[in-house]
Protein backbone atom coordinates (compact mmCIF):
# COMPACT_ATOMS: atom_id res chain seq x y z
CA UNK A 1 0.00 0.00 0.00
CA UNK A 2 2.61 2.53 1.07
CA UNK A 3 5.01 1.16 -1.50
CA UNK A 4 2.41 1.82 -4.13
CA UNK A 5 1.94 5.37 -2.90
CA UNK A 6 5.68 6.06 -2.94
CA UNK A 7 5.87 4.71 -6.48
CA UNK A 8 3.01 6.95 -7.56
CA UNK A 9 4.54 10.05 -6.05
CA UNK A 10 7.96 9.23 -7.52
CA UNK A 11 6.29 8.80 -10.86
CA UNK A 12 4.50 12.15 -10.69
CA UNK A 13 7.70 13.87 -9.59
CA UNK A 14 9.57 12.39 -12.56
CA UNK A 15 6.95 13.71 -14.98
CA UNK A 16 7.00 17.11 -13.30
CA UNK A 17 10.79 17.29 -13.63
CA UNK A 18 10.56 16.49 -17.34
CA UNK A 19 7.87 19.16 -17.75
CA UNK A 20 10.00 21.75 -15.97
CA UNK A 21 13.10 20.92 -18.03
CA UNK A 22 11.13 21.21 -21.27
CA UNK A 23 9.19 24.34 -20.36
CA UNK A 24 11.79 26.33 -18.45
CA UNK A 25 13.82 27.52 -21.50
CA UNK A 26 10.55 28.51 -23.15
CA UNK A 27 9.54 30.46 -20.03
CA UNK A 28 12.99 32.04 -19.93
CA UNK A 29 12.67 33.24 -23.52
CA UNK A 30 9.23 34.78 -22.99
CA UNK A 31 10.30 36.23 -19.63
CA UNK A 32 13.44 37.77 -21.15
CA UNK A 33 11.33 39.34 -23.88
CA UNK A 34 9.39 41.24 -21.19
CA UNK A 35 12.46 42.46 -19.30
CA UNK A 36 14.52 45.58 -19.66
CA UNK A 37 18.20 45.12 -20.49
CA UNK A 38 19.02 46.02 -16.90
CA UNK A 39 16.69 43.31 -15.54
CA UNK A 40 17.98 40.79 -18.06
CA UNK A 41 21.63 41.21 -17.07
CA UNK A 42 21.01 41.31 -13.30
CA UNK A 43 22.61 38.53 -11.26
CA UNK A 44 20.91 36.89 -9.44
CA UNK A 45 18.08 37.08 -11.97
CA UNK A 46 14.89 38.67 -10.62
CA UNK A 47 12.02 36.16 -10.47
CA UNK A 48 9.52 38.96 -10.13
CA UNK A 49 9.88 42.15 -12.11
CA UNK A 50 7.67 44.81 -13.60
CA UNK A 51 7.23 43.62 -17.19
CA UNK A 52 8.02 45.95 -20.03
CA UNK A 53 7.25 45.67 -23.73
CA UNK A 54 10.30 47.76 -24.62
CA UNK A 55 11.91 44.75 -26.31
CA UNK A 56 8.90 44.30 -28.57
CA UNK A 57 8.67 47.99 -29.36
CA UNK A 58 12.36 47.98 -30.19
CA UNK A 59 12.08 44.87 -32.37
CA UNK A 60 8.99 46.06 -34.22
CA UNK A 61 10.29 49.59 -34.73
CA UNK A 62 13.57 49.08 -36.51
CA UNK A 63 14.48 45.54 -37.39
CA UNK A 64 12.13 44.57 -40.17
CA UNK A 65 10.81 41.66 -38.11
CA UNK A 66 7.26 42.24 -39.35
CA UNK A 67 8.43 42.07 -42.91
CA UNK A 68 10.37 38.89 -42.18
CA UNK A 69 7.34 37.31 -40.51
CA UNK A 70 5.29 38.33 -43.55
CA UNK A 71 7.87 36.82 -45.90
CA UNK A 72 7.85 33.60 -43.90
CA UNK A 73 4.05 33.45 -43.92
CA UNK A 74 3.98 33.94 -47.68
CA UNK A 75 6.67 31.36 -48.41
CA UNK A 76 5.22 28.78 -46.03
CA UNK A 77 1.67 29.33 -47.26
CA UNK A 78 2.62 28.92 -50.91
CA UNK A 79 4.95 25.99 -50.21
CA UNK A 80 2.24 24.11 -48.33
CA UNK A 81 -0.36 24.90 -51.01
CA UNK A 82 1.90 23.62 -53.78
CA UNK A 83 2.80 20.60 -51.67
CA UNK A 84 -0.88 19.78 -51.16
CA UNK A 85 -1.67 20.18 -54.84
CA UNK A 86 0.85 17.54 -55.89
CA UNK A 87 0.89 15.58 -52.64
CA UNK A 88 -2.82 14.91 -52.14
CA UNK A 89 -3.35 13.10 -55.49
CA UNK A 90 -0.10 11.18 -54.97
CA UNK A 91 -1.24 10.05 -51.53
CA UNK A 92 -4.54 8.92 -53.02
CA UNK A 93 -2.73 6.96 -55.74
CA UNK A 94 -0.48 5.25 -53.20
CA UNK A 95 -3.36 4.49 -50.83
CA UNK A 96 -5.78 3.14 -53.43
CA UNK A 97 -3.69 1.34 -56.04
CA UNK A 98 -1.42 -1.63 -55.97
CA UNK A 99 0.94 -1.10 -58.88
CA UNK A 100 4.35 -2.11 -60.12
CA UNK A 101 6.94 0.47 -59.14
CA UNK A 102 5.05 1.52 -56.04
CA UNK A 103 7.93 0.59 -53.77
CA UNK A 104 10.37 2.57 -55.93
CA UNK A 105 8.05 5.58 -55.83
CA UNK A 106 7.92 5.35 -52.06
CA UNK A 107 11.70 5.00 -51.90
CA UNK A 108 12.00 8.20 -53.88
CA UNK A 109 9.80 10.08 -51.42
CA UNK A 110 11.75 8.74 -48.46
CA UNK A 111 15.06 9.67 -50.09
CA UNK A 112 13.85 13.24 -50.50
CA UNK A 113 12.75 13.33 -46.87
CA UNK A 114 16.14 12.08 -45.66
CA UNK A 115 18.13 14.16 -48.16
CA UNK A 116 20.93 16.23 -46.72
CA UNK A 117 19.95 19.81 -47.64
CA UNK A 118 23.34 21.01 -48.88
CA UNK A 119 23.26 18.54 -51.76
CA UNK A 120 20.50 20.42 -53.52
CA UNK A 121 21.35 23.82 -52.08
CA UNK A 122 24.47 24.34 -54.17
CA UNK A 123 22.83 23.81 -57.61
CA UNK A 124 19.79 25.78 -56.49
CA UNK A 125 22.05 28.63 -55.50
CA UNK A 126 24.00 28.60 -58.76
CA UNK A 127 20.85 28.33 -60.87
CA UNK A 128 19.19 31.11 -58.89
CA UNK A 129 22.23 33.34 -59.39
CA UNK A 130 22.18 32.64 -63.11
CA UNK A 131 18.46 33.36 -63.44
CA UNK A 132 18.59 36.38 -61.08
CA UNK A 133 16.22 34.65 -58.69
CA UNK A 134 18.27 35.14 -55.52
CA UNK A 135 16.00 36.80 -52.95
CA UNK A 136 12.94 35.64 -54.88
CA UNK A 137 10.54 33.71 -52.60
CA UNK A 138 9.70 31.36 -55.49
CA UNK A 139 13.07 29.64 -55.05
CA UNK A 140 12.35 28.89 -51.41
CA UNK A 141 8.82 27.72 -52.20
CA UNK A 142 10.25 25.24 -54.71
CA UNK A 143 13.15 24.01 -52.62
CA UNK A 144 10.93 23.37 -49.58
CA UNK A 145 8.93 20.83 -51.61
CA UNK A 146 11.78 18.43 -50.97
CA UNK A 147 10.52 17.82 -47.44
CA UNK A 148 6.98 19.23 -47.65
CA UNK A 149 5.81 16.78 -50.34
CA UNK A 150 7.00 13.53 -48.67
CA UNK A 151 5.54 14.61 -45.33
CA UNK A 152 2.17 15.55 -46.84
CA UNK A 153 2.02 12.36 -48.89
CA UNK A 154 2.79 10.19 -45.93
CA UNK A 155 0.19 11.82 -43.64
CA UNK A 156 -2.51 11.74 -46.33
CA UNK A 157 -1.86 8.12 -47.37
CA UNK A 158 -2.81 7.23 -43.83
CA UNK A 159 -5.95 9.34 -44.09
CA UNK A 160 -7.12 8.06 -47.48
CA UNK A 161 -6.77 4.47 -46.28
CA UNK A 162 -9.30 5.15 -43.57
CA UNK A 163 -11.92 6.27 -46.12
CA UNK A 164 -14.24 3.28 -46.73
CA UNK A 165 -13.72 1.77 -50.16
CA UNK A 166 -17.44 0.93 -50.41
CA UNK A 167 -18.24 4.62 -50.69
CA UNK A 168 -16.01 4.99 -53.71
CA UNK A 169 -17.26 1.79 -55.31
CA UNK A 170 -20.79 3.10 -55.10
CA UNK A 171 -19.69 6.28 -56.81
CA UNK A 172 -17.93 4.22 -59.47
CA UNK A 173 -21.20 2.42 -60.21
CA UNK A 174 -22.80 5.81 -60.64
CA UNK A 175 -20.36 6.35 -63.46
CA UNK A 176 -17.99 8.83 -61.84
CA UNK A 177 -14.36 8.56 -62.97
CA UNK A 178 -11.53 8.05 -60.52
CA UNK A 179 -10.37 11.64 -60.53
CA UNK A 180 -13.86 12.94 -59.80
CA UNK A 181 -14.19 10.37 -57.02
CA UNK A 182 -10.89 11.57 -55.56
CA UNK A 183 -11.88 15.21 -55.82
CA UNK A 184 -15.54 15.05 -54.80
CA UNK A 185 -15.68 12.13 -52.39
CA UNK A 186 -12.31 11.16 -50.92
CA UNK A 187 -10.78 14.62 -50.57
CA UNK A 188 -13.62 16.21 -48.57
CA UNK A 189 -13.57 13.24 -46.21
CA UNK A 190 -9.92 13.79 -45.29
CA UNK A 191 -10.20 17.51 -44.58
CA UNK A 192 -8.92 17.18 -40.99
CA UNK A 193 -5.96 15.19 -42.30
CA UNK A 194 -5.21 17.92 -44.82
CA UNK A 195 -5.14 20.46 -42.00
CA UNK A 196 -2.71 18.29 -40.02
CA UNK A 197 -0.48 17.76 -43.06
CA UNK A 198 -0.51 21.49 -43.82
CA UNK A 199 0.40 22.48 -40.27
CA UNK A 200 3.11 19.86 -39.79
CA UNK A 201 4.83 20.53 -43.10
CA UNK A 202 4.36 24.26 -42.52
CA UNK A 203 6.27 24.02 -39.24
CA UNK A 204 9.27 22.55 -41.04
CA UNK A 205 9.17 25.15 -43.78
CA UNK A 206 8.85 27.95 -41.24
CA UNK A 207 11.79 26.68 -39.19
CA UNK A 208 14.28 26.36 -42.04
CA UNK A 209 17.41 28.42 -41.66
CA UNK A 210 19.92 27.01 -44.15
CA UNK A 211 18.01 27.42 -47.43
CA UNK A 212 16.69 30.86 -46.47
CA UNK A 213 20.13 31.94 -45.31
CA UNK A 214 21.65 31.25 -48.72
CA UNK A 215 18.76 31.83 -51.12
CA UNK A 216 17.04 34.90 -49.66
CA UNK A 217 19.73 36.90 -47.86
CA UNK A 218 18.57 40.47 -48.55
CA UNK A 219 16.92 42.68 -45.92
CA UNK A 220 13.64 42.76 -47.79
CA UNK A 221 13.46 39.06 -48.69
CA UNK A 222 14.74 37.27 -45.62
CA UNK A 223 12.53 35.03 -43.53
CA UNK A 224 11.89 35.03 -39.78
CA UNK A 225 14.58 32.57 -38.60
CA UNK A 226 17.20 34.40 -40.67
CA UNK A 227 16.45 37.79 -39.19
CA UNK A 228 17.07 36.51 -35.68
CA UNK A 229 20.62 35.73 -36.79
CA UNK A 230 21.14 39.23 -38.12
CA UNK A 231 21.27 40.68 -34.59
CA UNK A 232 24.30 38.61 -33.71
CA UNK A 233 26.63 40.48 -36.02
CA UNK A 234 27.20 43.54 -33.84
CA UNK A 235 29.59 44.06 -30.96
CA UNK A 236 26.98 43.65 -28.24
CA UNK A 237 23.83 41.61 -28.70
CA UNK A 238 20.54 43.47 -28.02
CA UNK A 239 19.17 40.59 -25.97
CA UNK A 240 15.73 41.97 -25.08
CA UNK A 241 15.07 42.71 -28.72
CA UNK A 242 16.41 39.29 -29.77
CA UNK A 243 14.21 37.49 -27.26
CA UNK A 244 11.14 39.54 -28.25
CA UNK A 245 11.76 38.64 -31.90
CA UNK A 246 12.42 35.01 -30.96
CA UNK A 247 9.11 34.81 -29.12
CA UNK A 248 7.28 36.20 -32.15
CA UNK A 249 9.09 33.79 -34.48
CA UNK A 250 8.30 30.75 -32.33
CA UNK A 251 4.72 31.52 -31.40
CA UNK A 252 3.13 30.21 -34.63
CA UNK A 253 5.11 26.95 -34.71
CA UNK A 254 4.52 26.22 -31.03
CA UNK A 255 0.77 26.73 -31.45
CA UNK A 256 0.84 24.64 -34.64
CA UNK A 257 2.87 21.93 -32.93
CA UNK A 258 0.41 21.72 -30.04
CA UNK A 259 -2.49 21.37 -32.48
CA UNK A 260 -0.89 18.45 -34.34
CA UNK A 261 1.00 16.91 -31.41
CA UNK A 262 -0.66 13.51 -31.88
CA UNK A 263 0.75 13.15 -35.38
CA UNK A 264 4.32 14.33 -34.88
CA UNK A 265 6.00 11.01 -34.08
CA UNK A 266 4.23 9.14 -36.87
CA UNK A 267 4.65 12.01 -39.31
CA UNK A 268 8.36 12.56 -38.79
CA UNK A 269 9.14 8.86 -39.13
CA UNK A 270 6.95 8.64 -42.26
CA UNK A 271 4.74 6.09 -40.56
CA UNK A 272 7.44 3.81 -39.19
CA UNK A 273 5.71 3.85 -35.80
CA UNK A 274 2.04 3.23 -35.14
CA UNK B 1 -6.70 -2.99 -45.47
CA UNK B 2 -8.55 -3.84 -48.68
CA UNK B 3 -7.57 -2.48 -52.05
CA UNK B 4 -9.88 -1.27 -54.77
CA UNK B 5 -8.41 -3.01 -57.82
CA UNK B 6 -9.07 -6.67 -57.19
CA UNK B 7 -8.07 -7.88 -60.63
CA UNK B 8 -4.42 -8.79 -61.22
CA UNK B 9 -2.50 -6.13 -63.01
CA UNK B 10 -2.08 -7.85 -66.40
CA UNK B 11 -5.83 -8.30 -66.81
CA UNK B 12 -6.62 -4.66 -66.19
CA UNK B 13 -7.38 -2.38 -69.09
CA UNK B 14 -4.64 0.12 -69.82
CA UNK B 15 -6.68 2.91 -68.33
CA UNK B 16 -6.73 1.25 -64.94
CA UNK B 17 -3.04 0.44 -65.19
CA UNK B 18 -2.14 4.05 -65.91
CA UNK B 19 -4.51 5.46 -63.29
CA UNK B 20 -2.08 5.33 -60.34
CA UNK B 21 0.58 7.07 -62.39
CA UNK B 22 -1.92 9.78 -63.22
CA UNK B 23 -2.18 10.46 -59.49
CA UNK B 24 1.47 10.14 -58.47
CA UNK B 25 3.24 11.65 -61.48
CA UNK B 26 2.86 15.35 -60.59
CA UNK B 27 4.68 14.75 -57.32
CA UNK B 28 7.30 12.61 -59.04
CA UNK B 29 7.97 15.21 -61.71
CA UNK B 30 8.24 17.97 -59.12
CA UNK B 31 10.60 15.98 -56.92
CA UNK B 32 12.67 14.89 -59.91
CA UNK B 33 13.01 18.53 -60.94
CA UNK B 34 13.98 19.85 -57.51
CA UNK B 35 15.57 16.70 -56.08
CA UNK B 36 17.18 14.61 -58.78
CA UNK B 37 18.16 17.29 -61.26
CA UNK B 38 20.15 19.32 -58.70
CA UNK B 39 21.84 16.16 -57.46
CA UNK B 40 23.04 15.37 -61.00
CA UNK B 41 24.22 18.95 -61.31
CA UNK B 42 26.13 18.65 -58.02
CA UNK B 43 27.61 15.34 -59.14
CA UNK B 44 28.76 16.97 -62.37
CA UNK B 45 30.42 19.89 -60.59
CA UNK B 46 32.07 17.58 -58.10
CA UNK B 47 34.42 16.49 -60.92
CA UNK B 48 35.68 20.03 -61.54
CA UNK B 49 38.20 22.26 -59.92
CA UNK B 50 36.31 25.47 -59.62
CA UNK B 51 36.14 28.38 -57.24
CA UNK B 52 33.16 30.53 -58.15
CA UNK B 53 34.27 33.94 -59.36
CA UNK B 54 37.84 32.80 -60.00
CA UNK B 55 38.57 31.54 -63.49
CA UNK B 56 36.90 28.73 -65.33
CA UNK B 57 36.20 25.18 -64.16
CA UNK B 58 38.82 22.61 -65.06
CA UNK B 59 38.24 18.88 -65.04
CA UNK B 60 39.50 17.22 -61.88
CA UNK B 61 38.17 13.67 -62.07
CA UNK B 62 37.95 12.28 -58.59
CA UNK B 63 40.38 14.89 -57.31
CA UNK B 64 37.78 16.64 -55.17
CA UNK B 65 36.72 13.36 -53.59
CA UNK B 66 40.30 12.53 -52.76
CA UNK B 67 40.71 16.00 -51.29
CA UNK B 68 37.47 15.76 -49.31
CA UNK B 69 38.32 12.35 -47.90
CA UNK B 70 41.85 13.32 -46.99
CA UNK B 71 41.28 16.93 -45.94
CA UNK B 72 41.42 17.39 -42.22
CA UNK B 73 38.69 20.10 -42.21
CA UNK B 74 36.02 17.90 -43.75
CA UNK B 75 37.27 14.72 -42.09
CA UNK B 76 37.17 16.34 -38.66
CA UNK B 77 33.75 17.83 -39.24
CA UNK B 78 32.37 14.40 -40.16
CA UNK B 79 34.11 12.87 -37.17
CA UNK B 80 32.65 15.59 -34.92
CA UNK B 81 29.20 14.80 -36.28
CA UNK B 82 29.74 11.11 -35.55
CA UNK B 83 30.99 11.89 -32.04
CA UNK B 84 27.91 14.04 -31.46
CA UNK B 85 25.78 11.10 -32.59
CA UNK B 86 27.71 8.62 -30.47
CA UNK B 87 27.21 10.73 -27.35
CA UNK B 88 23.64 11.93 -27.86
CA UNK B 89 22.00 8.81 -29.31
CA UNK B 90 22.45 6.54 -26.26
CA UNK B 91 21.54 9.32 -23.81
CA UNK B 92 18.46 10.30 -25.78
CA UNK B 93 17.45 6.66 -26.16
CA UNK B 94 17.67 5.96 -22.43
CA UNK B 95 15.99 9.22 -21.40
CA UNK B 96 13.37 8.74 -24.11
CA UNK B 97 12.69 5.25 -22.85
CA UNK B 98 12.27 6.51 -19.28
CA UNK B 99 9.89 9.25 -20.41
CA UNK B 100 7.95 6.81 -22.60
CA UNK B 101 7.47 4.45 -19.65
CA UNK B 102 6.50 7.32 -17.37
CA UNK B 103 3.96 8.43 -19.95
CA UNK B 104 2.62 4.92 -20.46
CA UNK B 105 2.04 4.26 -16.78
CA UNK B 106 0.98 7.75 -15.68
CA UNK B 107 -2.02 7.48 -13.38
CA UNK B 108 -2.88 11.13 -13.47
CA UNK B 109 -4.66 11.94 -16.73
CA UNK B 110 -3.74 15.62 -16.54
CA UNK B 111 -0.05 14.99 -16.01
CA UNK B 112 -0.02 12.54 -18.89
CA UNK B 113 -1.80 14.92 -21.23
CA UNK B 114 0.41 17.84 -20.20
CA UNK B 115 3.51 15.79 -20.93
CA UNK B 116 2.18 14.55 -24.27
CA UNK B 117 1.55 18.11 -25.41
CA UNK B 118 4.77 19.55 -24.00
CA UNK B 119 6.94 16.94 -25.68
CA UNK B 120 6.18 18.49 -29.08
CA UNK B 121 7.46 21.93 -28.08
CA UNK B 122 11.21 21.27 -28.49
CA UNK B 123 10.48 19.57 -31.83
CA UNK B 124 8.31 22.38 -33.17
CA UNK B 125 10.32 25.36 -31.93
CA UNK B 126 12.54 27.07 -34.51
CA UNK B 127 16.06 25.57 -34.22
CA UNK B 128 17.74 28.91 -34.93
CA UNK B 129 15.91 30.34 -31.91
CA UNK B 130 16.98 27.40 -29.73
CA UNK B 131 20.58 28.30 -30.47
CA UNK B 132 20.02 31.96 -29.62
CA UNK B 133 18.22 31.08 -26.41
CA UNK B 134 21.06 28.72 -25.49
CA UNK B 135 23.53 31.57 -26.01
CA UNK B 136 21.57 33.65 -23.52
CA UNK B 137 21.10 30.87 -20.97
CA UNK B 138 24.70 29.64 -21.15
CA UNK B 139 26.21 33.13 -21.05
CA UNK B 140 29.17 33.30 -18.72
CA UNK B 141 28.22 36.52 -16.91
CA UNK B 142 24.45 36.66 -16.74
CA UNK B 143 23.34 33.22 -17.95
CA UNK B 144 20.82 31.37 -15.82
CA UNK B 145 22.79 28.10 -16.09
CA UNK B 146 25.82 29.57 -14.38
CA UNK B 147 23.55 31.10 -11.73
CA UNK B 148 21.90 27.71 -11.08
CA UNK B 149 25.16 25.76 -10.85
CA UNK B 150 26.44 28.59 -8.64
CA UNK B 151 23.71 27.73 -6.15
CA UNK B 152 25.33 24.35 -5.60
CA UNK B 153 28.77 25.91 -5.42
CA UNK B 154 30.15 25.41 -8.91
CA UNK B 155 32.18 28.28 -10.32
CA UNK B 156 30.84 29.97 -13.47
CA UNK B 157 31.87 28.32 -16.74
CA UNK B 158 32.53 30.13 -20.00
CA UNK B 159 30.36 27.57 -21.79
CA UNK B 160 30.62 28.81 -25.36
CA UNK B 161 34.13 30.17 -24.91
CA UNK B 162 36.09 26.93 -24.57
CA UNK B 163 36.21 24.20 -27.18
CA UNK B 164 35.29 21.26 -24.91
CA UNK B 165 32.61 23.19 -23.03
CA UNK B 166 31.11 24.52 -26.29
CA UNK B 167 30.85 20.97 -27.60
CA UNK B 168 29.28 19.92 -24.30
CA UNK B 169 26.79 22.77 -24.60
CA UNK B 170 25.79 21.60 -28.07
CA UNK B 171 25.36 18.08 -26.67
CA UNK B 172 23.15 19.37 -23.84
CA UNK B 173 20.99 21.47 -26.15
CA UNK B 174 20.74 18.61 -28.64
CA UNK B 175 19.48 16.36 -25.85
CA UNK B 176 16.88 18.96 -24.86
CA UNK B 177 15.82 19.41 -28.47
CA UNK B 178 15.58 15.75 -29.54
CA UNK B 179 14.88 13.55 -26.51
CA UNK B 180 11.16 14.42 -26.72
CA UNK B 181 11.05 13.14 -30.30
CA UNK B 182 12.68 9.86 -29.27
CA UNK B 183 10.28 9.65 -26.30
CA UNK B 184 7.24 10.16 -28.55
CA UNK B 185 8.39 7.50 -31.00
CA UNK B 186 9.13 5.03 -28.20
CA UNK B 187 5.88 5.84 -26.44
CA UNK B 188 4.00 5.10 -29.67
CA UNK B 189 5.77 1.77 -29.98
CA UNK B 190 5.22 0.96 -26.30
CA UNK B 191 1.49 1.21 -26.88
CA UNK B 192 1.76 -1.68 -29.37
CA UNK B 193 2.56 -4.10 -26.54
CA UNK B 194 -0.71 -6.04 -26.08
CA UNK B 195 -2.06 -5.37 -22.60
CA UNK B 196 -3.28 -8.92 -22.03
CA UNK B 197 0.23 -10.28 -22.61
CA UNK B 198 1.65 -7.66 -20.28
CA UNK B 199 -0.88 -8.58 -17.62
CA UNK B 200 -0.22 -12.30 -18.02
CA UNK B 201 3.49 -11.74 -17.43
CA UNK B 202 2.75 -9.57 -14.42
CA UNK B 203 1.32 -12.69 -12.80
CA UNK B 204 4.46 -14.65 -13.67
CA UNK B 205 7.08 -12.32 -12.31
CA UNK B 206 7.17 -9.25 -10.17
CA UNK B 207 10.58 -8.16 -11.31
CA UNK B 208 10.79 -5.40 -13.83
CA UNK B 209 13.91 -6.34 -15.81
CA UNK B 210 12.94 -9.84 -17.04
CA UNK B 211 9.51 -8.51 -17.90
CA UNK B 212 11.05 -5.70 -19.92
CA UNK B 213 13.68 -7.83 -21.62
CA UNK B 214 11.63 -10.78 -22.74
CA UNK B 215 8.18 -9.31 -23.24
CA UNK B 216 8.19 -5.59 -23.84
CA UNK B 217 11.49 -5.20 -25.69
CA UNK B 218 10.60 -7.50 -28.62
CA UNK B 219 7.55 -5.35 -29.32
CA UNK B 220 9.61 -2.20 -29.06
CA UNK B 221 12.41 -3.09 -31.48
CA UNK B 222 10.69 -1.47 -34.49
CA UNK B 223 10.18 1.72 -32.48
CA UNK B 224 13.76 1.75 -31.20
CA UNK B 225 15.08 1.14 -34.71
CA UNK B 226 12.89 3.94 -36.07
CA UNK B 227 14.15 6.29 -33.38
CA UNK B 228 17.77 5.41 -34.23
CA UNK B 229 17.37 5.72 -38.01
CA UNK B 230 15.54 9.05 -37.90
CA UNK B 231 17.54 10.52 -35.07
CA UNK B 232 20.69 9.81 -37.08
CA UNK B 233 19.22 11.44 -40.19
CA UNK B 234 18.00 14.51 -38.29
CA UNK B 235 21.31 14.98 -36.52
CA UNK B 236 23.30 14.80 -39.74
CA UNK B 237 20.89 17.22 -41.45
CA UNK B 238 20.51 19.72 -38.64
CA UNK B 239 21.89 23.17 -39.24
CA UNK B 240 19.79 25.85 -37.51
CA UNK B 241 20.57 25.24 -33.85
CA UNK B 242 24.19 24.27 -34.45
CA UNK B 243 24.79 27.36 -36.55
CA UNK B 244 23.04 29.85 -34.31
CA UNK B 245 24.57 28.61 -31.07
CA UNK B 246 28.23 29.19 -31.92
CA UNK B 247 28.72 29.38 -35.73
CA UNK B 248 31.10 26.46 -35.53
CA UNK B 249 33.34 28.03 -32.93
CA UNK B 250 35.25 28.65 -30.84
CA UNK B 251 37.94 27.70 -33.33
CA UNK B 252 36.42 24.74 -35.12
CA UNK B 253 35.16 22.94 -32.03
CA UNK B 254 31.49 22.88 -33.09
CA UNK B 255 32.10 22.81 -36.84
CA UNK B 256 29.87 19.89 -37.86
CA UNK B 257 29.66 18.46 -41.37
CA UNK B 258 26.74 20.64 -42.52
CA UNK B 259 28.45 23.81 -41.33
CA UNK B 260 31.74 22.79 -42.92
CA UNK B 261 30.15 22.20 -46.32
CA UNK B 262 28.16 25.42 -46.06
CA UNK B 263 31.41 27.24 -45.32
CA UNK B 264 33.31 25.60 -48.19
CA UNK B 265 30.47 26.40 -50.58
CA UNK B 266 29.26 29.84 -49.55
CA UNK B 267 32.25 31.45 -47.85
CA UNK B 268 35.05 29.88 -49.84
CA UNK B 269 32.98 29.38 -53.00
CA UNK B 270 34.98 26.23 -53.69
CA UNK B 271 32.14 24.70 -55.69
CA UNK B 272 33.99 21.58 -56.80
CA UNK B 273 35.08 20.53 -53.32
CA UNK B 274 31.75 21.42 -51.71
CA UNK B 275 29.94 19.39 -54.39
CA UNK B 276 32.10 16.35 -53.72
CA UNK B 277 31.49 16.69 -49.98
CA UNK B 278 27.76 17.03 -50.61
CA UNK B 279 27.72 13.89 -52.74
CA UNK B 280 29.45 11.99 -49.95
CA UNK B 281 26.75 13.15 -47.54
CA UNK B 282 24.10 12.22 -50.11
CA UNK B 283 25.41 8.67 -50.20
CA UNK B 284 24.99 8.57 -46.44
CA UNK B 285 21.37 9.72 -46.69
CA UNK B 286 20.57 7.19 -49.42
CA UNK B 287 21.97 4.41 -47.25
CA UNK B 288 19.71 5.61 -44.43
CA UNK B 289 16.68 5.72 -46.74
CA UNK B 290 17.42 2.17 -47.90
CA UNK B 291 17.65 1.04 -44.29
CA UNK B 292 14.29 2.70 -43.67
CA UNK B 293 12.66 0.88 -46.59
CA UNK B 294 14.23 -2.43 -45.61
CA UNK B 295 13.04 -2.15 -42.02
CA UNK B 296 9.69 -0.46 -42.14
CA UNK B 297 8.18 -0.56 -45.60
CA UNK B 298 6.49 -3.86 -46.21
CA UNK B 299 4.01 -4.36 -49.01
CA UNK B 300 1.88 -6.72 -46.98
CA UNK B 301 0.32 -4.12 -44.73
CA UNK B 302 -0.65 -1.76 -47.50
Collect all residues of chain B within an 8 Å Cβ-Cβ radius of residue A261.
116-117, 119-120
Residue B298 has a pLDDT of 66
- In which band, very low, low, confident or very high, does the pLDDT at A1 lie, cut at 50, 70 and 90? low
Q: What is the mean pLDDT of residues B289-293?
A: 82
Cβ contact, residue pair A45, B265, below 8 Å: no
Residue A173 has a pLDDT of 87
Give the DSSP letter string of A146-189: HHHHHHHHHHHHHHHHTS-HHHHHHHHHTT--HHHIIIIIIHHH
- Whether the predicted pLDDT of A199 surpasses 70: yes
- How do residues B1-41 score in pLDDT, each as one tens digit? 444 554 455 556 777 788 899 999 999 999 999 988 888 98
* Per-residue DSSP letter, B50: E
Cβ contact, residue pair A18, B99, below 8 Å: yes
Sequence ranges of the domains in chain A: 53-271
E strand residue ranges, chain B: 48-51, 54-59
Collect all residues of chain A within an 8 Å Cβ-Cβ radius of residue B141.
41, 43
- Whether the predicted pLDDT of A225 surpasses 60: yes
Domain membership of residue B163 (yes or no) is yes
- In which band, very low, low, confident or very high, does the pLDDT at B301 lie, cut at 50, 70 and 90? very low
Among candidate residues A119, A101, A110, the one with its CA nearest the CA of residue A153:
A110
- Whether the predicted pLDDT of A3 surpasses 80: no
Q: What is the mean pLDDT of residues B129-137?
A: 95
- Expressed as residue numbers, the domain containing B260 is 72-296
Between A12, A100, A272, which is nearest B226 by CB?
Answer: A272
- How do residues A241-253 score in pLDDT, each as one tens digit? 999 999 999 999 9
The ipTM is 0.92
Asked if A2 is an interface residue toward chain B (Cβ–Cβ < 8 A), one would say no
- Whether the predicted pLDDT of B256 surpasses 50: yes
- Whether the predicted pLDDT of A189 surpasses 70: yes
Collect all residues of chain A within an 8 Å Cβ-Cβ radius of residue B298.
none
- How do residues B210-231 score in pLDDT, each as one tens digit? 888 888 888 888 889 889 888 9
Residue B51's beta-bridge partner residues? B54, B270
Q: What is the mean pLDDT of residues A119-142?
A: 92
Domain membership of residue B67 (yes or no) is no
Interface probe, candidates B28, B31, B104, B249, chain A, greatest A C-beta count within 10 A: B31
Cα–Cα distance, B69 to B82 (Å, whole number): 15
Cα–Cα distance, A62 to A73 (Å, whole number): 20
Average pLDDT of chain B to the nearest whole number = 87
Collect all residues of chain B within an 8 Å Cβ-Cβ radius of residue A95.
302
Q: How far is A168 from chain B (nearest CA, A)?
A: 9
Interface probe, candidates A123, A149, A196, chain B, greatest B C-beta count within 10 A: A123
Structural contact between residues A148 and A204, judged by C-beta atoms closer than 8 angstroms = yes
Cα–Cα distance, B146 to B142 (Å, whole number): 8
Residue B11 has a pLDDT of 57
Between B17, B121, B188, which is nearest A26 by CB?
Answer: B121
- In which band, very low, low, confident or very high, does the pLDDT at A13 lie, cut at 50, 70 and 90? very high
Residue B239 has a pLDDT of 93
* Per-residue DSSP letter, B270: B
Domain membership of residue B243 (yes or no) is yes
Residue B2 has a pLDDT of 43
Cβ contact, residue pair B128, A29, below 8 Å: no
Asked if A170 is an interface residue toward chain B (Cβ–Cβ < 8 A), one would say no
Classify domain A53-271 by CATH number: 1.10.3720.10
- Whether the predicted pLDDT of B126 surpasses 90: yes
- How do residues A156-185 score in pLDDT, each as one tens digit? 998 999 888 888 888 888 888 888 999 998
Distances from the Cα of B70 to the Cα of A105, A125, B73, B257, angstroms: 36, 26, 9, 14
- How do residues A67-100 score in pLDDT, each as one tens digit? 999 999 999 999 999 999 999 999 999 998 888 8
What total of structural domains would you count in chain B? Answer: 1
* Separation of CA A99 from chain center: 32
Q: Find the CATH number of the domain harbouring B160.
A: 1.10.3720.10
Amino acid sequence: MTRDLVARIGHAVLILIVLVVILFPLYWMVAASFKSADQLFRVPPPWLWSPTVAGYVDALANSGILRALGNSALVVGCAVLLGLMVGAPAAYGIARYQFRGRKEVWFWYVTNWMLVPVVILLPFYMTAVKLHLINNPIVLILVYQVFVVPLIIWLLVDQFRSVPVALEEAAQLDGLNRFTIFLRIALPLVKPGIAVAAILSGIFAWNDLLYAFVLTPSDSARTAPTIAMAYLGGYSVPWTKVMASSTMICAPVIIGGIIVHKYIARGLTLGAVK
Amino acid sequence: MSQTPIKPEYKQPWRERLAPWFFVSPSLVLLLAIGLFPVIYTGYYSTFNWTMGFGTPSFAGFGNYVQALTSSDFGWSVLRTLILLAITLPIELVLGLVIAFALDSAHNVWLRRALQVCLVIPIAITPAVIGLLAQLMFNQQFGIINYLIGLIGIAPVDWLGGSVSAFATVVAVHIWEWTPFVALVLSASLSTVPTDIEEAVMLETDRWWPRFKSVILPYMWPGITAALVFQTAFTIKSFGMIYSIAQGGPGTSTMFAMLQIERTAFRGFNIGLASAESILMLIMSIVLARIYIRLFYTDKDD
